Structures are given as C-alpha cells and as structure tokens.
Amino acid sequence: MLFPGMNRSPTLRLLTGLAVTLLAVGVYSAYTISQLRSLSELQTTTIDRNRTDTLLLLLRIQNSLNGLALTMRDMLDEQQPYPVTAWAPQFRRIRADLEDALSREEKLSVNSRTTEQQRYLADSFRQFWDGLDRIFDLARTGNDKEARNLIRLSLQARQQALGAAVSRLLVRNNSSEETAASQTRQLYAGVQRNVYIFLAAMLVVIVLTSLYLVHYNRRLFEQVAALSERRSDLARQLISVQETVFSDISRDLHDDFGQILTAIGAMLKQEDKRTGGLLEVREVVQETLEKVRSLSHALHPVVLDEIGFESAVEAWLPGFEKQTGINISYEKSGESRSLDREVSTHLYRVMQEAMNNVAKHSGSKRAALRLRFLPHTVVLEIQDEGVGFSNSDKHGLGLVSMRERAEMMNGRIEFPATERGALVRVIVNA
C-alpha cells in the first residue's frame, strides 16, 4: 500500500502539463508569426504604394516639364502673332501644377534621396522660375525679341536640365524603393527565421526538461512505491509476529498461570472449609484469575477459534460497555457465515481499535456497530457521535494499523464524511 495521496503516478499529469505547455507555445508562436507576416505584407504594400505614387508624381512633373518645352517652342515660333506675355497664364497654370506635384513627391520621397539632392532640385526649379519672371518682365517693357533670345539661350537649357534631373530621379527612386522593399522582405524573413529557431529551441528545451522531469518523477515514484511496499510488508510481518507473540503469551497465561491460580483457589477453598478465615485470600486469587483471563483474551481472543467472529463480537461488547460506560448499538444483517481465521483475527482487531478510538478520542457516550453479510463481502461499520476525525488523526498509528490489516485481508478501509462524529467502514471480500 502506498502512502496516502501516493496511489497514482504523476507521470500522466506531467505529460498533460507538457502537452498544454507545447500547445500554448505553439499557439502563441503561430499568432506571432501571423502578426509578423501581416506586418511585412502591410509594410511591403505601403512601400510599393509609395513607390507607385512617387513614380506617378515624377511622371506628372516630367509631363509638366514637357508642357513647358512645348510652350516655349510656341513662344519662339516667329509665325505666331502673339506677344510673349500672351503665354503668361499658361505658364502660371503649369507652374502651379508643378509646385503641387513637387510638394507631394517631396513628402513621399523623404527617405529615398539626400538633402543635397532635394536642395539641388528645388534650386533648379527656383532658378527656372526666376529666369521666366525676368523674361516676362522684359516682354512687358516691349522687348519681346530680347525675351525670346533669353528663352532660346537660357530657359530652354534650364528646362532640359530639369527634365534630365527628373528622369534621373525616376530611375533612382524606382531603384531605391525596390531596394527598400527587398530589404524589408529580407528583414522580416530574418525575423521569422529567428522566431522559428527560437520556437524550435524552446520546444526542444521544454520537451527535454519535461521528459527529464517525467523520467525523474517516475523513478522517484517507483522508489516511493518500493519503499511503501517494503514498509507494508514490514507492517504485515510485524502484525503477524505480534499476533503470534500475543497468542503464545495468551496461551501461557491461560494454560499455565490460569491453571496454577485455579489450583490455588481450589486448595484455598478446601482449607477454608476446615479452618475458615481464608475468604479474603480466595477473593484476591479469584480476582487475579479473572484479570489473567481478561489479559489472555485481550492478547488473543481464543473465542474466535472456538465460536467464530460474530459470536466473539457479541461476547466482547458487554465487557467493553461495562468498562467504558459507552452505550453500543449492535446491528447485524445478512446470512451469517464462518470467516477465515486470519480474516476473523484482523477484522476483530480493527473492531477493537475502532472502539478504543471511540472511547479515547471521540468523547461520545453512544456508538453503533453494524455487521453486514453481503453475497461476496462482509462490511463492518463503527460510528460514533463525537468530535470526528482531524487531518492528523487519519495518519495516526492506530488508523495506519487498521489500513494495513484491511490490506492484509485484501479489503479496504474507508472514513466517509458524516454530519456528526466519525465513521469507520471496513469492506472485506469473504
């Protein structure tokens, strides 16, 4: 029999805990990986969208620059009957569109070009507009010819330089955005790889640690079970030796001392008839004889061998009631049958131990003893109306002895909860 609470191995619970831990780690890792993938897709999509928006804006700028080139070509056409100032509204419209496109593109491409590159582009456009303003100023003073010469010599070159710069920005921005998208994908791929590695390492550590704990606890449980079994065997041997010793002492008391005291009593009785005055000595001898017989019966109830368990219980109860002052309610049900000698002895000892616990610890003046003969089992119950069991009581030496005796009978002992008092139930297959 194992110690209380040690009748089941913890291996199953440890394996269940391992499965729950692995499931929790797996779920959390899957959630983390899913979030990383979503974030990677979001950032990649954002980068691609920004790249597309930047390209569209640069194309818009390039188209506006082409519009400037066409407008300047028309201004230089001598067949046109219009003065230079006639193209001022068209230039203002193109300038407004260019400035709006440049402003938006600058916000989107803040990380794709250096400050010097951004400043160069802004300075180039500012110089172009300054040159255009001077040309219109000359035209307003009536110097159309000089204005057209400045367009031909300076403004067209500036427009071509701006077109070339925007073309370079188109190529550079597209390349840098593709590089950024590639780096982002590589970064998230590395993070996911690290998560997988960490997850694998954690799973390996958890599995190895858990398997070690399972193995260690299994070995520990087996050792405890072996120790408990040896303790149980030792307890059985001690109980067996105890019963043997008690039986020998009981027999010696009954056969030797009992016969001696009986002979002394008989001789004193004869002598008292002749002389008188030995009555007190006879009473002392008789009292001693009764005590020896009582002690002999306590050490080994010979009545078990002579009249059986049921009759032995009925014979023992009146003396216990007289000695303790406890009123015992005895109930028997079922068809009586003889029990094995070892079963009778152990069942009788359990009954005695339970009744002695009632007398010593319960504080109850009433108790019930119920004996039930069922088809395949015998059930013995002892119940009182006292203080009941405490946690320490259930591990006391007396109850441990009762458990061992129940095990030796291939039975079991129970301590069911009751509203009041304590209940001891022994169930034996007999």
Q: Which of 425, 429, 423 is nearest to 374 (CA)?
A: 429
Q: What is the pLDDT of residue 57?
A: 81
* Beta carbons of 416 and 427 less than 8 angstroms apart: no
Q: Give per-residue pLDDT as tens, 284-327.
A: 666 676 666 566 555 556 667 778 888 888 888 988 898 889 99
Q: CB–CB of 72/119 below 8 Å? A: no
- pLDDT bucket at 4, cuts 50 / 70 / 90: very low
pLDDT of residue 85: 86
- The band of 3, judged by pLDDT with boundaries at 50, 70 and 90, is very low
* The predicted structure's pLDDT at residue 244: 61
Q: Determine what percent of the chain is predicted with pLDDT higher than 70.
A: 71
Whether 414 has a pLDDT exceeding 80, the answer reads yes
- Give the end-to-end CA distance of the chain in Å, rounded to a whole number: 20
Chain segment 342-365, per-residue pLDDT in tens: 888 889 989 988 998 899 888 889
Phi, psi of 368 (to 5 degrees): -125, 135
The whole-chain average pLDDT of the chain stands at: 78
pLDDT value for 366: 92
- Reply yes or no on whether the pLDDT at 268 is more than 60: yes
Q: How many CA atoms within 13 Å lie on the side-chain side of 380?
A: 24
Instruction: Please give the residue that has the higher pLDDT: either 223 or 259.
Output: 223
Whether 206 and 19 have beta carbons less than 8 Å apart is answered as no
Instruction: State residue 108's pLDDT score.
Output: 72
Q: How confident is the model at residue 382 (pLDDT cuts 50, 70, 90)?
A: very high
pLDDT tens digits along 79-126: 767 888 888 888 899 889 988 888 887 777 655 567 787 788 888 888
Q: In this structure, are strands 366-373 and 327-333 parallel, antiparallel, or unpaired?
A: parallel
Other residues' Cβ atoms within 10 Å of the Cβ of residue 349? 18
Sign of CA dihedral 212, 218, 220, 223: negative
User: Computed over its alpha carbons, how large is the radius of gyration of the chain?
Assistant: 55
Check: CB of residue 132 under 8 Å from CB of residue 65. Answer: no
Count of beta carbons in the 10 Å neighbourhood of residue 133: 12
Is 366:354 a contact under the CB 8 Å cutoff?
A: no
Contacts of 371 (CB under 8 A, 6+ apart): 310, 313, 330, 331, 332, 333, 378, 379, 380
Residue that is written with structure tokens 């007398």 in the block: 359
Residue 110 is classified by DSSP as: T
Poorest-confidence range of 19-28, 57-66, 137-146, 153-162? 19-28
Q: What is the pLDDT of residue 6?
A: 46
AA identity, residue 274: R
**Res. 257: pLDDT tops 60:** no
pLDDT band of residue 239 (cuts 50, 70, 90) is low
Nearest to 317 by CA among 332, 302, 307, 327: 327
- The one-character DSSP state at 85 is G
Place of tokens 């980068």: 47
183-195 pLDDT tens trace: 777 877 777 787 7
